[in-house]
Amino acid sequence: MRGMDEFALIRLLNRRGSPGTGRPNETGVKTGIGDDAAVMKPSAGSDIVVSCDTMVETVHFLPETMQHYDIGYKAMASSLSDMAAMGARPRWALIALTVPSGPSGTWTAESLQELYDGLYACADRYGTVVVGGDTTSSKSLLTVTVTVIGEADEDRSLLRSSALPGDIVFVTGPLGNSAAGLHLLLKAGRPAVPIEDMEETVRSLVLAHRRPEPRIDAGAILASSEAGVCGALNDISDGLASEAWEIAEASGVRIVLDEERIPLSPELTRYASAAGRDPHDFALYGGEDYELVGTVRRERAAELAARFEVAGKRIWLVGEVAAAGAMNKTDKGAAANLERAPMPGVTLRSSAGVEKPLPKKGYNHFA
């Protein structure tokens, strides 16, 4: 980035402005962008819920995989997804942007504006107000970090540690599309062409990769269920296997996933078959789906599924929670396998009822 100073860039990127003192009741923002810090008023009876996530050029995106707008949209969406995973309502966001300043940098004021258009579009869609951020230069790579501040009804956040033996495991959507979209983009070495210009058959996979949607509404339904109906909740950033392991470890339980119940889109199945890959590998280990995986008390699972249907959505029941170390005694083969499996943990059950330990595998920045 050259030809514009830091302060002009901040003004340009945030030209929509944050509401400041104009509408504090609606947005809760008393002081937005422009002072040393933002000042917000939390709602009465709420807990504050905060998280941040970073996207790094070359690690989370390449020029071939994402358009500038998509990078911004996805940075906001993946950060908001952690609010959904807590059953929280996102309210405010801060954006930390680090831009390569060297002569070789490909980032211009125009490309950064597109990235910010994506950030703001996603924030607007989920009722989140950008109240500040930070802008710095770097030698080589662009990074964008979004911090989200949300609210949950007091003591009603949905935690990874709340799964109980007997619970049913659910997910909020088909898995593996994003990883397949990435696989396709990297394999095909395609330029970052607009989604509208892609063939119909691959569009949904690429869209899932570039423009994930945080499942804020699903999180809200789960959080508004009677206390204790929803057990644990997590969002799927690193792959279903990895996220299920996080719940299992935090809750001290064993999670059993039924392989044939894991929802796969027809597009994924078709793509995997053409690429000679098992579609379950994309779903279990790919990541960046930003769907939710959670548990619900067994006797309330049907009622929860019905609540989603009333809201025009659905959940897929994909397994169950067992006590750590418990095993299916009727299946000798499974028992032998499980004896070797670390407990708590996650197992994958085939349609024939055979359970195998599911490796704690998925996206890991340092593995």
Ligand X SMILES: Nc1ncnc2c1ncn2[C@@H]1O[C@H](COP(=O)(O)OP(=O)(O)OP(=O)(O)O)[C@@H](O)[C@H]1O
Binding site for ligand TPS (CB under 6 A): 53, 59-62, 65, 182, 237-238, 287-288, 363
User: Judged by CB, which is closer to ligand TPS: 65, or 128?
Assistant: 65
Which DSSP helix (H) or strand (E) runs through 34?
none
Which of 270, 209, 272, 248 is closest to 359 using CA atoms?
Answer: 248
User: Judged by CB, which is closer to ligand TPS: 151, or 246?
Assistant: 246
Q: Is 116 annotated as a binding residue?
A: yes
User: Assign residue 20 a region: left if phi > 0, alpha if psi is -120 to 50, beta otherwise?
Assistant: left
User: Judged by CB, which is closer to Mg ion: 19, or 287?
Assistant: 287
Residue with tokens 């951020």: 133
Which of 106, 87, 195 is closest to 151 using CA atoms?
Answer: 87
Q: Is 73 annotated as a binding residue?
A: no
Q: Is 258 annotated as a binding residue?
A: no
Q: Which does 60 bind (CB under 5 to 8 A by kind): Mg ion, ligand TPS, ligand X, none?
A: ligand TPS
| Separation of CA 367 from chain center | 20
Nearest-angstrom CA–CA distance, 56 and 62: 9
Q: Is 289 annotated as a binding residue?
A: no
Q: Is 126 annotated as a binding residue?
A: no
Nearest-angstrom CA–CA distance, 294 and 33: 36
User: Judged by CB, which is closer to Mg ion: 27, or 237?
Assistant: 237
The number of residues that bind ligand X (CB under 6 A) is: 4
Residue 97 tokens read as: 């942007």
User: Judged by CB, which is closer to Mg ion: 51, or 98?
Assistant: 51
Distinct helix (H) and strand (E) counts, the chain: 12, 13
Distances in whole angstroms, Cα of residue 193 to Cα of each of 63, 74, 111, 199, 211? 10, 17, 15, 11, 14
Binds ligand X by CB under 6 A, chosen from 9, 53, 216, 218: 53
Q: Which does 65 bind (CB under 5 to 8 A by kind): ligand TPS, Mg ion, ligand X, none?
A: ligand TPS
Identify any residues that bridge with 116 across adjacent strands, giving them in sequence order: none
Alpha helices in the chain (DSSP H): 6-13, 24-27, 68-84, 109-125, 177-188, 200-210, 216-224, 240-251, 266-275, 279-285, 301-310, 332-340
Q: Is 290 annotated as a binding residue?
A: no
Residue 251 tokens read as: 């809750």
Binds ligand X by CB under 6 A, chosen from 27, 145, 162, 237: 237
- Which residue in the shown chain puts its C-beta closest to ligand X? 237
Least distance (Å) from ligand TPS to the CB of residue 288? 5
Nearest-angstrom CA–CA distance, 85 and 49: 11
Least distance (Å) from ligand TPS to the CB of residue 57? 9
Per-residue x/- mask for ligand X, residues 67 to 106, rule CB under 6 A? Answer: ---------------x------------------------
User: Judged by CB, which is closer to ligand TPS: 151, or 238?
Assistant: 238
* Amino acid identity at 211: R
- Residue 213 touching ligand X (CB under 6 A): no
Residue with tokens 């950060």: 79
- Residue 289 touching ligand X (CB under 6 A): no
Residue positions forming the annotated binding site for substrate: 60, 288, 363
Residue positions forming the annotated binding site: 36, 51, 53, 60, 82, 116, 133-134, 160, 235, 237-238, 288, 363
Residue positions forming the annotated binding site for Mg(2+): 36, 51, 53, 82, 134, 235, 238
Interacting residue ranges for ligand X, rule: CB under 6 A? 53, 82, 237-238
